[in-house]
Amino acid sequence: MAAEVVDVRPAEPADAAQLLALLRQLATESNTFTVDDGLGEFSEADERAQIEQITRTTTNTIFVAALGAELIGVGTVQATDALVPERGEVGVAVLKSYWGNGLGSALVEELMAWAQDFSTLKTLFLTVQTRNDRAVKLYQHLGFTTVTAQPYLVVDPTGAQVPAIDMTLTV
């Protein structure tokens, strides 16, 4: 990968099929990444429509990391709900074979720039499992602060209860 350039960019409707395949693969590669239960029922047309809808908002976004024509990472911001429209939840995942190459940082930095320059959000937040030490350090390095006094238990994709913390960043 050293000689090739990874493009971190907003997702496009044409990415729909590859994005679905990426999300399905990511769900099998890590016990710290959770996808929506309904992902298996999502069609390419559904994903295309979702990408189109998301790109029209100021509170949601999807960025992808592309190596040539292959999607190898994804970063999202999703508004929590209509009652708190100024908070967006961050999600980031990179294919395991590309871990350690700075792609998680690049995705989060692009999400932060989007939030500051284009969104109407005031705060980004995320939940991270404490066993994912690299992710915790990444978020701290990028300015996120821990807002939970003590770790609390979340259920990982395998069904195990693991400690997690919430982190936030004002944009």
CATH number (domain holding residue 63):
3.40.630.30
Q: How far apart are CA 111 and CA 139, in angstroms?
A: 12
- Give 78's strand partners: 89
> Considering the domain boundaries, does residue 110 fall inside one?
yes
> Considering the domain boundaries, does residue 156 fall inside one?
no
Place of tokens 């992902």: 39
71: phi then psi, degrees, rounded to nearest 5: -80, 130
Q: How far apart are CA 62 and CA 18, in angstroms?
A: 13
> Considering the domain boundaries, does residue 149 fall inside one?
no
> Considering the domain boundaries, does residue 1 fall inside one?
no
Q: How far apart are CA 114 and CA 112, in angstroms?
A: 5
**Residue (of 94, 91, 100) closest to 167 by Cα position:** 91
pLDDT of 149 strictly over 80: yes
> Considering the domain boundaries, does residue 69 fall inside one?
yes
> Considering the domain boundaries, does residue 33 fall inside one?
yes
pLDDT tens column, 79-130: 976 666 689 999 999 999 999 999 999 999 999 999 999 999 999 999 999 9
Range of the domain at 73: 6-121
pLDDT tens column, 127-137: 999 999 999 99
Q: Is the pTM of this model over 0.85?
A: yes
Q: Are the CB atoms for 88 and 76 separated by under 8 Å?
A: no
**Tally of structural domains, the chain:** 1
> Considering the domain boundaries, does residue 89 fall inside one?
yes
- Reported as type and span, the H/E element at residue 115 is helix 103-117
